[in-house]
Amino acid sequence: DSGVTQTPKHLITATGQRVTLRCSPRSGDLSVYWYQQSLDQGLQFLIQYYNGEERAKGNILERFSAQQFPDLHSELNLSSLELGDSALYFCASSASTGGAEAFFGQGTRLTVV
């Protein structure tokens, strides 16, 4: 058990809909990362928050957004969903930035139908 909790584990939704994925980092970790894993793109970095502030952005679509709350949990919001958004979404947390080991949650498998 990595200590990172993601909910839900599975999500099936229709195209055009909006979903929210939730992540609780390991106790004490200030940094939260979101990654997307798909068959064609592999594991891709989406966005990072550190102590409530956005720290880095990767190839995140404009339809996607995230935030980190004062209690350090994070949410990833995906809207106007398309079939191609079907993927495994991982949250990871680390104690700091710049090379600290990141521990991953179990992932949320999103299926858009």
The correct pick among 106, 110, 112, 113 for binding other proteins (CB under 8 A) is 106
Question: 56: part of which helix (H) or strand (E)?
Answer: strand 53-57
Distances from the Cα of 52 to the Cαs of 16, 44, 48, 76, 90, in angstroms? 29, 22, 10, 13, 18
| Interface positions, 3-42, toward other proteins (CB under 8 A) | 31, 33, 35, 42
Q: Strand 5-7's sheet: what is its strand order?
A: 5-7, 19-24, 74-78, 64-68
Site for other proteins (CB under 8 A): which residue of 3, 12, 15, 43? 43
Closest of 22, 10, 16, 42 to residue 111, by C-alpha = 10
Length of the chain equals: 113
Interface stretch with other proteins, choices 13-21, 43-51, 62-70, 79-87 (CB under 8 A): 43-51
70 binds other proteins, rule: CB under 8 A: no
Q: Specify the stretch interacting with other proteins by CB under 8 A; choose among 15-23, 62-70, 79-87, 98-106.
A: 98-106
Interface with other proteins by CB under 8 A: which residues? 2, 31, 33, 35, 42-45, 48, 50, 55-56, 58, 88, 90, 92, 94, 96-107, 109
